[in-house]
Structure 1
Amino acid sequence: MKKFLLLLTLIPAGLLAACGSDEGAASDVEKKDLVLGGTIPYSDMLEGGVKPYLEELGYTVEVREFNDYVQPNTALGSGSLDANLFQHEVYMTAFAEEHDMDLSGVIRVPTAPMAIYSEKFASLEEIEPGSTVAIPNDPTNTARGLTVLRDNGLLEFDEDVNPLRVTENDVTSNPLDLKIESLEAAQLPRSLSSVDLAAINGNFAISAGLDLTASLAKDNIPENIINQVVVLTENLDDQYVQDIKEAIESDEFKQFIEEEFQGFHQPDWMRD
């Protein structure tokens, strides 16, 4: 018995605790190294508006920039990202269903509008019959592109059609006989030299150096089309996710937006 007690005294206390139970071990580890991802300009929003606040809370933060709408979610699923910022609720829901992922939105952020740009026309009134207009080819942004054209009198479609699911087949009136060309969203800014006008997502417009205030028209963004921070649902209640939300709700973040992101649509919570 004495030999057994002596053996116990030689075993490190931490090892004894580990042998006793591992219940709650993972939840006791506080995550302090974060990798956040986004497309331009949301990667800049993370870098300048979120990262400094999180670093004040003791986090080490890396921001990674992406140039498409697929990799930020696949990186989230693989664990190489802890959160991303580039997508709205409608896109997130469709992507999660298609790729069998469980994603959740955390908080919405100011969002660059989709807008109509042209190197040929200075106003909507100048658009000539038979002009070619380029729009994004992914379903959600196809609907946004067609809707911004509809809202500015260039197209009409049935009022009963869900504006978030509109396709070219739903167009009922095209008074200028516009020729609609579908392209990958990231290619739209470069298409301006070969088409007459284009409906371009705000992030790709900004990354291409286009001025949001120089567009011919902008879309009106409903709440479920405003971009949001997204995480894996299993991490939604983790402390780092709550701290990201706190950072975006901070006065520092709001001031950063006012200085650097003029012309962006603000979510309802920022206007209240």
Structure 2
Amino acid sequence: MSPMPLITGSNFSYQHLPFERFLDDAADLGREELELWGIAPHFHVPQVSDAEARAVRRRAASRGLRVRCLTPEQVAYPVNIASADTRLRASSIAMFRRAAELCAELGAELLLLTPGRGYEDEPVEAAWRRSADALAEIASYAEGFGVTCVLEPLQRVESNLLNDSRALARMLDEVGARTSPPCSTPWAWRSPGRAWTTTSTRSATGSATCTSSTAARPGTWRGATGSCRCPTTSPPSPATVMPGS
């Protein structure tokens, strides 16, 4: 198996270069899959039409590439799903819902999310709740398009909610439990620079036993201890690591 399907190319370093340059370089480097950063001028989610997304898909395919994951810009203002400002939070959730629709047009099976942040002088749990509610809403909406959401923890300067694997596991558990009953199924965990899925079996105490690694499946939210949507598709072939940036 070629290592290239396990390594995505991304346009993170190409914001000030033409998008065609990124696609050409990715193809020249032997990449086969892309993590598309949703940033202007390449792919600013609030402004991209369905037709424009399909055009990006065709331009990538003409070079032997496909978009595996869409990562809308979300760490910088004005996107914050945990915001205490109801209008800002609502517009942020709407942006991710639109991103899920664009994933379908791109043929991308993954949509990357981050937790947002709360005010520095408010209880963390208040912002945590807003974030978890938003993540559950977005994940449920994305599932309708065959898109799986993956969640990335951030540096402390970027978020005061998810900064380590323990907080990440807790959030994935909470969101997974809201979207469906527990089951034994793959879950996705994305830390800075990589994403993967692994099969976990939930015990009576809620702990998880990892049994195998598999490719991501569309239509399933991945919970850290198996709280997730039970998949309806057949098991995929192995593909365990997708470094992203």
TM band (smaller chain): under 0.3
Q: TM-score, normalised by structure 1?
A: 0.26
Which one has a larger percent helix, Structure 1 or Structure 2? Answer: 1
| Greater relative CO (CA pairs within 8 A, separation 6+) | 1
Greater Rg over alpha carbons, structure: 1
